[in-house]
Structure 1
Amino acid sequence: MNQAEDPEDGVPPSEAPLCGEHDSQTKAQRCVTGMHQRPGPGPGPSCVSMKSNRSMSLPLNFKDVAPSVDASSHQQRGKSPEPRCLSMKNDQSIDQWINFKDGRCSYDPEEDQESSEVPTGPSAQHHQRHLDSIFMLLEENILTFVKNELKKIQKFMSSDYPECLEKEDEEELDEEQRRSREAFVKISVHFLRRMKQEELAERLQSRLRVAVCQRELKSDLKRKFQRVFEGIAKAGNPTLLNEIYTELYITEGGTAEVNEEHEVRQIETASRKPARPETTIRQEDLLKASAGGEEPIRTVMTKGVAGIGKTVLTQKFTLDWAEDKDHQHIQFTFPFTFRELNVLREKKFSLVGLVHHFFSETRAAGICRFEEFQVVFIFDGLDECRFPLDFHNNEIMTDVTESASVDVLLTNLIRGKLLPSARLWITTRPAAANQIPPDCVGMVTEVRGFTDPQKEEYFRKRFRDKKQARSIISHIKTSRSLHIMCHIPVFCWITATVLEEVLKTREGEELPKTLTEMYIHFLVVQSKVKKVKYDGGAETDPHWSLKSRKMIESLGKLAFDQLQKGNLIFYESDLTECGIDIRAASVYSGIFTQIFREERGLYQDKVFCFIHLSVQEFLAALHVHLTFFSSGVNLLSEEQTTSLWSKVFRDKPKPKRLYQSAVDEALQSHNGHLDLFLRFLLGLSLETNQTLLRGLLIQTESRSQTNQETVQYIKKKISEDVSPEKSINLFHCLNELNDVSLVEEIQQSLRSGRLSKKKLSPAQWSALVFILLSSEEDLEVFDLRKYFASEEALLRLLPVVKASNKVLLSGCNLSERSCDALSSVLSSQSSSLRELDLSNNNLKDSRVRWLAAGLESPHCELEALRLSGCLITEEGCASLVSALSSNPSHLRELDLSYNHPGDSGVKLLSAGLEDPHWRLETLRYEGTAATDHQSGRGGRAGNLFSVPLSAWLIRP
């Protein structure tokens, strides 16, 4: 600002006198006189001490300042003697500048007696001139500051929302500048009150409290979230979130329906989805989106499997808000976790009280009317909620100051009964998504984890050495199971931790290829850290001591018991049930901090968990292995409950029975919750893996025969027509046992081109499915005729059809059974099918009805359907029109050429084309094509064939 400008410019008239007056004194004299002289006669001059700040509290005496400054008060000051000098020697007088309590300065001239002598002679004159120039500059700076701040305050008071004053500045304000600004606002409040402007004073003071509260809340959240621990805390070695954060792949759309499949299965399904344009959404846009209307979406649910990055996503969102990088349309962000809320499930709070409880800054500021602000509540980890969310029977509440249990507060907040103006963001694993009614959720998003390029970006950030990063990325690509698991960010961290250690300490050694090898190395690395860091041992000492073995055994028991119950989060009561002493658990979480962690919530309640479900499953498998080979007890068999059997079993343990019972147990699981556990248990049977855990595992004698028997047992199960998902997991189990014979046999037939001439066994069919699902090329376009153009082949390869983008089934003799199977694929939530060619099959109307049942499913996203030459009449057309009316949003191309739709069929299709909800762009029949080039939906007149006009169907 130009300092020569009128200092009253932009300031309300009633406040203009605060900027200063003009008289015949010099600026320095005027400043010192106005600041230090009381009205009326006063004592002689006293010196300005430059050595302290104590006298800085002297200048303003609000009790003696009239609401408006007039000429008489100016004249009164003019009669005063020469100015007294301020002491600069010490800091005592700083607090005397402004005394809000009684308006009087507590200055005592005797305190500055030592510094009250005024220099005389030329040096005194020089000193005075120097002092005059300093105070002249000081006055100009103060006037500039006052003018600028009053402008900001005026704008601040006239805005719709009480944004922080600091936001007007582009540069960062330091703490001293903030305090100066807040002090000036307090001065302004005081003057407004002296001017009888009580309402303005109260509004300004209230908004100041809000601004200060917001700043303190942001500061607290910044401290909490700016540093994170990959995996979990490396003691004393946190990482800046902004340095390691890698953008996640988040898709918009979908439903909050439950998915109970094992999350590794879900990841495998996601990894097979062909690359295609999807509606993606960036983290910073999650709460800006609207469902096509002007009003923003109130509640967003974000789904994702454990470890996929949901929590880090919420932390990044909160950190960006706290650092003023994004989301500044939001006044308050309140991040909660269900882990923290669980410990309050027996207590009662009002909504205001709950916020005050977790965010003390709001309580200190006395903020209770949150409806006046744009507020975002984040609730992370719905799947960890341990209290019922009864949306049907919980009482309805609308008063934010009324107390109730936490579950009642949440159901009313989510339903919009409490604080309807608030925005909500809820994260959950897929299995718990249905705990909230669909009508309470405005938008569902899904965190898919890392795409392939994002995986590579993570490892390049993690390893600064480019050559090392390339080597690791290349290695991961060679192992299908590792590559799939790296969709999960926490698994990328585990992999990086292991490979970094192996490359550093075991140069030239083969890198781990299977999941079991990876997790064994991970456990060994953590044991080594514990030994060196906590036990003071050397790196060459044995990894396992008696104490560390005991710890792992205890953690393994906890992992297995809680896996059986389906728990990922444990409380003190859960540990006690497993026989783990609470004090010991704290020691475990402190030592094996990368594996098992302890979190402290409010009231110092402790929450325990493993860093990821896969770590819990590995330790559970390790516990079953240790128990069997140390005591002969098979924890997966009911025989352990019979003492006689137990005795016999302990005398002659038979590993074959352990592994076979594990396979049976996993196959009986309807959702595959033991799939990964089974892979780990079988992997631990290999002698090479047991060698890696020497000192922890009892080294079993060479059991190659047992392993071979287990391989044969698994192949037998594959031959028994188990579900495709279970069959695929059994092939992963064979990989863990280093047996790829079945897969190699089929691959050889594929390479030689002899596969279509062979009659395959059920096991060979399953192997073919496994091979095709592991091949990204075969999933882009799947042509059944390359293998076997038969109904049996279609039914056997249905998982491949489901995972493919484009499927060609022309001339494959499809029956009603085939159409029923295809209908189930079309209606599957996890289907990737977008183009389906069924031309030249005698489907007729009856089989089209089966297909129509799949087309009308809300999960069906088919974009092109070709039914040329399928003997379809008006009845079949009616079925198709009915299906498209139910689900009109996706199908863009329909080929009904060389069929018999008749006049009624044509009319039905014509009426459908006029429906604005239909997305159909191209319709073909009777060997002709009609393309919508008028609707603006992508059709082009150049696509029209030269055909009779009567054969065209053109959208109006």
Structure 2
Amino acid sequence: MPRTTVRDGLCLLSAYLEELEAVELKKFKLYLGPATETRKGRIPWGRMETAGPLEMAQLLVAHCGAREAWLLALSIFDRINRKDLWERGQREDLARGTPRGDPCSLGSQLACSLEVFPGAPRKDPQETYKDYVRRKFRLMEDRNARLGECVNLSHRYTRLLLVKEHSNPMWAQQKLLDMGQVHARTVDHQASFIQMETLFEPDEERPEPPRTVVLQGAAGMGKSMLAHKVMLDWADGRLFQDRFDYLFYINCREMNQSASERSAQDLISSCWPEPSVPLQELVRVPERLLLIIDGFDELKTSFHDPQGPWCLCWEEKRPTELLLSSLIRKKLLPELSLLITTRPRALEKLHRLLEHPRHVEILGFSEAERKEYFYKYFHNVEQAGHVFNFVRDNEPLFTLCFVPLVCWVVCTCLKQQLEDGGLLRQTSRTTTAVYMLYLLSLMQPKPGSPTLQPPPNQRGLCSLAADGLWNQKILFEEQDLRKHGLDGADVSSFLNMNIFQKDINCEKFYSFIHLSFQEFFAAMYYILDGGESSSSPDQSLMRLLTEYGFSERSFLALTVRFLFGLLNEDTTSYLEKRLCWRVSPHIKVELLDWIQSKAQSEGSTLQRGALEFLSCLYEIQDQHFIQQALSHFQVVVVSNIVTTMEHMVSSFCVKNCRSLLVLHLSGAAYSADKEHGERWTSGPRTLLTHSPERSVLPDAYSQQLATALSTNPNLTELALYRNALGNRGVKLLCQGLRHPNCKLQNLRLKRCLVSSSACQDLTAALMANKNLMRMDLSSNDLGLPGMQLLCEGLRHPKCRLQMVQLRKCQLEAGACQEMASVLSTNRHLLELDLTGNALEDLGLRLLCDGLRHPVCRLQILWLFGMDLNKVTHRRLAALRITKPYLDIGC
């Protein structure tokens, strides 16, 4: 085989292997071992195990030859589910050399030229530059990266939604208002999407390719990362190969620091990796050059309207603002193409400099892309799925995850939380805490910034948000900003600018990135010291709480939830120590007074709006405060609990309620009323269908309920309806039931995914707890094995149960023999419900033997829903005569 083919084959194979993630490369090696066995012996695993992509390509080419190694690699790509590599590889032709669409990546090219053929000629300038671009943009640092920590941009980057038209007011408002998956669908249904690959392609409106593309996006929307990805994809041969020969990246923040005069020649030279710059080669065809200007809005004011003669010559030196402005206005190198990223606030100034640019807005992540981002951040697939479902359960959090920066904040927090003991441990990152971290990220947008950059008038920003909330306003005019002492340029990190058409003119409006972020700032208005004394809005905290009234339907619900969350000790510390925003010391006292008056008006019963109120308490994560707040309630009834997070919120709060007498926690209705553990749906809050074992609630839920049983001797009734405890959950709950402090009398576990193996733990609880008098295990799959274990406890001398409900527990005739033995030994049992079980006539005959026993004191027996013959009915009639105090319903 010619030397060039070997070299090209090695380069090509190495470039493809570099696209594999670590887990995929390991799979590649595992499949490769047996595949090479029939050739010149098997490649030793010891050499493959530690080999990177380049070394792996060298081993394979040396073992099989370039052509055969390439075909073998393609077959393995297909087997490890990298169809994209397999399909792209089918179009490659080793005989023509490394294709332009997939040049060798950094490292593999150097190896090809230096290691395989030391005497190889020097690469052409374009390849030299592409190597440099790959080296510069391949790796990225997270905002919280420590020394040496970096992430492969291609492995982390997730496609953003790009749309090439301006929003209309109706759609813009809908996007701001919608929550959760409804919000995701609204974003997905926006028209005129455009792909990154077609940014410079003509369309129906533009028969000629655009020379300038403006990428607009709010703070944290991923503009810079997209610009970096454009550079990397071009260098890797995936983007603009037939359109541009060279791409140059200009960071506007760095341009601000430049005080000296420079020429266009200097500007391009600063992007070149070597001292010797082939300038004639670079500008030989200027229409094949693309200049990426990242962060136009960050340029100093002098850049927007520079004074002085334009720079018209390639070598002519001018102040940096004049040079850049000359390039943007196309006074210099007019054939040059531009890709400019900016926040919306600078659009008007930019518009004055450009002629017919293509305008593209970055909308962030769709629901599918949010999920993809989570799976890319967490390399463990099961962990990624667990975290994504957890976030999707949290509607406000999932909504704001359309912003890439929020996705990163959420993933970073939850990763640390997993490492510290799990997502749903007793103290978790609340929604408010994540919003606060997002706020801090906006104030320190780039790594290395020495100090935070809070808005000049934070009180004005908070009062604007609150005023808008009371007036149902989410789009603000400039006069609204002025009313609250704000300037659009000063708060561009927090407010997004929208330009809408009205009649024959355009109007400019400002909005928070989402209504939930406006509600977050509105809550801050009420907790900051002196906030209510501001000129506007004229609404007191008590007015806010009265209007809210525990109602999840209130337009103030999320604001009040954030208000509680902002009083969390850690969040307050962020506000006071890092932002110097002082929190009023009187807010907690006012909240407790309001809760007490609410409890008195509701007769010490928390039922209406219970879940919403508990969600507020959960946000504060202050056990002492929660104990004080719930000390005024003796009965808590929480209904229609849908998500795992809502279950956790409920259990976390009630474990801190020491005065509670009665606790009812009811899940939402099962889909199609099925009995086999499918999860339920209710409106926008949807859970997936899993097997019963995978559907159970986390251990922390049952542990917190067990804590309530062991620490609150006043609790006499616990009813869990449609709570997916599972056997593990029942085991943990029974630890609380066996505790000496537990004085529970009534336990209901209806439709809680309890199976036969959990009955052993229930039996132990019956033997230990003399206070328990009523137990409902209806609609659980106990069967005969479960009944045998349960009856062991019912026969125990210490068991004091008076009522047992076993409706629809998959019991058959054999279970009646076990129950008959209980009836003949247990003098305390007064009521038994066996409705909905297939006991048949044989089972009833066995049961009647126990009912006739002199020890039996049963007074009520429920047998509805059974197909019994005449003989059995006569037997039951005779039993009524023998025991007239026994009421039999059938």
Calculate the TM-score normalised by the size of structure 2. Answer: 0.40
Calculate the TM-score normalised by the size of structure 1. Answer: 0.38
Larger Rg: 1
